């Protein structure tokens, strides 16, 4: 019997196949790496947000209470900063008179902090009505 030789078949990979596989795996790893750090950054933002939202609500409540009972805000309570979990937060509180009677105020509270390379600004707005005493009317 005679055997025909049809070609030289090897069981290895070519250099191009190895390079393509390496490129696909590298691209996949880079995408997984980016997704991980984006989710980590989002988690960090949410944690910071949850830390300061109750503080912001309390600050607005104090300003509303001051405007409701006194008709004015303490001028020293217009801006400041605080540190929470080794992160510096800056805040600015402003008020605006909305009507001619001098009773309705709009309060704006802005919180600013750095999140990695980004500057984050968180704003809250509230309203207060000055309740004049009977002796003031």
On whether the CB atoms of residues 93 and 59 are closer than 8 A, the answer is yes
Instruction: Show me where the domains of the chain are located.
Output: 16-129
The pLDDT value given to residue 65: 86
Which phi and psi angles does 116 have, rounded to 5°? 70, -120
Tokens 């999140």, located at residue: 115
More confident residue, 111 or 78: 111
Residue 17: band (very low, low, confident or very high) from pLDDT cuts 50, 70, 90: very high
CB of 49 closer than 8 Å to CB of 122: yes
pLDDT digits (tens, 9 = 90+) for 49-75: 888 898 899 989 988 888 888 777 776
Q: Which of 55, 60, 46, 57 is nearest to 81 (CA)?
A: 55
Q: pLDDT at residue 113 above 80?
A: yes
pTM of this structure: 0.66
Task: Please give the pLDDT value at position 89.
Answer: 92
């Amino acid at each position: 019997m005679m055997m025909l030789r049809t070609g030289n078949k090897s069981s290895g990979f070519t250099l191009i196949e190895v390079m393509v596989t390496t490129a696909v795996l590298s691209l996949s790893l880079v995408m997984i790496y980016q997704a991980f750090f984006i989710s980590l950054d989002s988690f960090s933002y949410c944690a910071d947000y949850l830390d300061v939202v109750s503080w912001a609500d309390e600050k607005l409540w104090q300003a509303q209470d001051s405007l409701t009972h006194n008709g004015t805000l303490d001028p020293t309570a217009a801006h400041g900063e605080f540190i929470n979990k080794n992160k510096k937060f800056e805040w600015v509180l402003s008020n605006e008179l909305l009507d001619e009677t001098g009773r309705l105020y709009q309060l704006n509270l802005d919180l600013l902090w750095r999140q990695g390379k980004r500057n984050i600004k968180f704003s809250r707005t509230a309203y207060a009505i000055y309740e004049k005493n009977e002796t003031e009317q």
